[in-house]
Amino acid sequence: MDKFTTLTGIAAPMPLVNIDTDMIIPKQFLKTIKRSGLGVNLFDEMRYDRDGNEIPDFVLNRPAYRDAQILIAGDNFGCGSSREHAPWALLDFGIRCVVSTSFADIFFNNCFKNGILPVVLPQDAVDALMRDAEKGANARITVDLDAQTVTGADGTEYGFDIDPFRKHCLMNGLDDIGLTMEKAPAIDTFETQMAQARPWV
């Protein structure tokens, strides 16, 4: 997966609480096992009417936020089912970071496995960043994973905590397969030794 180091981009405000994974990517789009192609259906039932036309008032349909890379979201983002298609859809749209006061556990873990940084901040910090995001494309927000800070449009910095192992994986672009491949020399050595010790296996 792509490395996450520092991201400066447009932040889209989504103040709704309890945005669940079925809202992020509705069930009819779960047939695929590919991680690509789901971005067009991100928040499908909020982005489009029954005829498939865009709903102009939905935040990601507004010109200022079509290229958003950051979501500033309400509490308990990603609740509901455990579908990994939710972070796939976010990533395919171009979202690399979601900021909220809290996340559902499974969604939170799936984000890290797919190159998305979920940032947990206190309510007052999220409120301030939400106000920044509401200013549109001219108010860019910076997320610095190494420094563990989110910087608002006015330069105010908000620090966040992150598990050191997850930080290492994101900064180095390591998913589960990448982590395994880091141990490739040790695995090769083990297999050679086992072949010599147990040639009948």
Q: Where are the domains of the chain?
A: 4-172
Q: What is the pLDDT of residues 176-193, one digit of tens each?
A: 777 677 777 888 888 888
Its pTM stands at: 0.88
Judged against a pLDDT cut of 80, whether residue 155 lies above it is answered with yes
- Alpha-helical (H) ranges within 73-122 are 85-93, 105-113
Please, which residues bridge with residue 141 across strands? 9
- HEC profile of 170-191: HHHCCCHHHHHHHCHHHHHHHH
Q: What is the pLDDT of residues 98-141, one digit of tens each?
A: 999 999 999 999 999 999 999 999 999 999 999 999 999 888 99
CATH class of 4-172: alpha beta
d(CA 129, CA 155): 11
d(CA 65, CA 155): 21
